[in-house]
Chains A and B, each alone.
Chain A
Amino acid sequence: MVVTPFTPIASLLGGALIGLSAVLLMWATGRIAGVSGIVARLFPPYQDREFTGRLVFVAGLVAAPVLVRLVTGSFPTQTIEAGAAVLIVAGLLTGFGTVWGSGCTSGHGVCGLSRLSVRSLVATVTFMAMAIATVFVTRHWS
């Protein structure tokens, strides 16, 4: 594992930007900024005409590090320790689970909790607990 520094100020400000984005999306389109829901609805079956809007939102997410590199001259720190096999399993579980549970960290953890949704509270407690348990098993049981 790689030790990472504690960054409360940057994390608080970054979190505030995420929140600002969610509020702006609600103001502009009237929809929840849940990334898993936005990505999943890029695939059929289509139930509305919001495809282009979702696609450009995702394009904005992908463009963010490119903009940071243009401004600062380098990419921010990123360390991905998982190998290809783990990434595939983790990706499948993340994709399936977020659709099955109607949301992820952004939709339930940020938007849902701030709207005092009981379903989002149940979902957030569950995925946090399972993620903590998974890391405990992979890092401390071997």
Chain B
Amino acid sequence: MAIFVQFAIGLVFGLGLILSGMSNPAKVLNFLDVGGIPAGTWDASLAFVMAGAIAVTFVGFNRVSKLARPFFAERFYVPMRKDIDPKIVIGPAIFGIGWGLAGFCPGPALTALGFGSISAFIFVAAMCAGMVLARFIAQLPSSTRAVTPADPLET
């Protein structure tokens, strides 16, 4: 049951990416292209994607957090970290360059796979390689850090 529900939730996410235009890299790049404002080619649509999404999650997370526990799990797994370490700047800076080069972030790239696109396949394969590399480096013993987080991906 939980499996079918999680599939449906992923499907809703993917339909949202398609309807919003996020699954089209040309649209994403035209949003990021503030240099296109004078020429009139800037596409502001993606600001509306973020507004629509955050409006729903802001209210929805609040409601859900009042429940005793999730429907299919024992407890909530919500990130509690508040520290600003170098990784929270360096990681997104690297990701931003990748996003700006191709117009793909992880969700839309996966949805683009369903279009049967070879380009999306190439991007996703490289993305997975980058993820595996980062996870490998993150779990190497470090002399500069005394305590290794239990999960290097914890937001």
Residue ranges of A at the interface with B (Cβ–Cβ < 8 Å)? 1-8, 10-37, 39-41, 43, 45, 47, 52-53, 56-68, 75-82, 84, 86-115, 117-120, 122-124, 126-136, 138-140
Taking a contact as CB atoms closer than 8 A, the residue among A10, A52, A114, A130 that contacts B100 in the complex is A130
Q: List 5 A-B contacts (CB under 8 A).
A: A1-B29, A16-B56, A27-B71, A81-B26, A90-B126
**Cβ-defined partner of A39 (8 Å) among B5, B89, B110, B117:** B110
Are A75 and B51 in touch, CB under 8 angstroms? no
How many chain-B residues does the 8 Å CB contact rule pick out?
122
Is the beta-carbon distance between A80 and B22 smaller than 8 angstroms? no
* Residue from B52, B54, B64, B88 within 8 A of A101 (CB atoms): B88
Interface status of B147 (Cβ within 8 A of chain A): no
Tell me the bound Cα distance from A30 to B127 in angstroms: 26
| Majority secondary structure, A binding face | helix
Complex: A8 Cα to B109 Cα, angstroms: 22
Q: Would you give the 0/1 interface string for B26-58, flagging 1 where the beta carbon is closer than 8 Å to chain A?
A: 110110111110000101111011111111111
